[in-house]
Structure 1
Amino acid sequence: MTSIDDPALAGHLQELRRGTVVVAALASLRTAGYGYALLETLGRSGFEVDANTLYPLLRRLEKQGLLTAEWNTQESRPRKFYRTSPAGEDVLTALRADWRALDAAISDLA
């Protein structure tokens, strides 16, 4: 049996989770949130994401038009809030459908 400490398994798990973070972020940001709060939300849901991974991802999704962003300067510390855009909703729907299809296909192999 392969141990969770096995470097090969760790690499495969990291690769598997890499794409799911996009789905998790788009789903979570249907309600506006800022980066640090998203890190905590994802962590509580079992998506341990490093800040050095999440912040570039948020910027990339914003640049792709999948997230909208605006600064909240009303608090003592300005924060950039993100929200899933209509285009992001469309991508999220497609990614979830593909995820379900892949899961079904893998289940059929077992």
Structure 2
Amino acid sequence: MRAEVLKGHLDALLLATLEDGPRHGYSVKEALRAGSDGRIDLPTGTIYPALRRLEQQGLITGTWDTSGPRARRTYTLTPAGRTALNGERTGWQEFSAVITTLLAGKPWPRPT
């Protein structure tokens, strides 16, 4: 899947990968790839700037882990990040329902 297709949704996907606990940057990339059976395999040049942006927004925190053979940055979802992720999920569910309805050639159901 091309990165431009994910434009506008990348932040939500990154936040979702951190929902179950901290991950280092490459592990975030691999979680997206594994969770999508390889359909979302983004370059690190896309992932790391987005993680830095989310950190600057206060949605994730990053700390340096020096316990292994080399230092790596580990990211954790903040309470604000959890709130943002919940909002993104709600927005995505509505958006995808509307698009699915339109692509099926059906009108949006009117309230009764």
Does 2:54 align with 1:61? yes
Q: Structure 1: where are the runs of 5+ without partners?
A: 1-9
Unmatched 5+ stretches in structure 2: 105-112
The structure 2 residue matched to 1:77, chosen from 59, 70, 74, is: 70
Alignment TM-score, normalising by the size of structure 2 = 0.80
In structure 2, how many angstroms separate the alpha carbons of the residues matched to 1:88 and 1:96? 12
The separation in 2 between residues aligned to 1:89 and 1:76, in whole angstroms, is: 31
TM-score for the superposition, normalised by structure 1: 0.81
**Rounded Cα–Cα distance in structure 2 between residues aligned with 1:51 and 1:16:** 17
Please identify runs of 4+ aligned residues in structure 1 that moved more than 6 A: none
RMSD: 1.6
- State the secondary structure of the residue aligned to 2:70: coil
Aligned residue number for residue 109 of structure 2: none
Note if 1:39 corresponds to 2:32: no
Task: Count residues in correspondence.
Answer: 99
SS at match of 1:70: strand
Identity across the alignment (%): 36
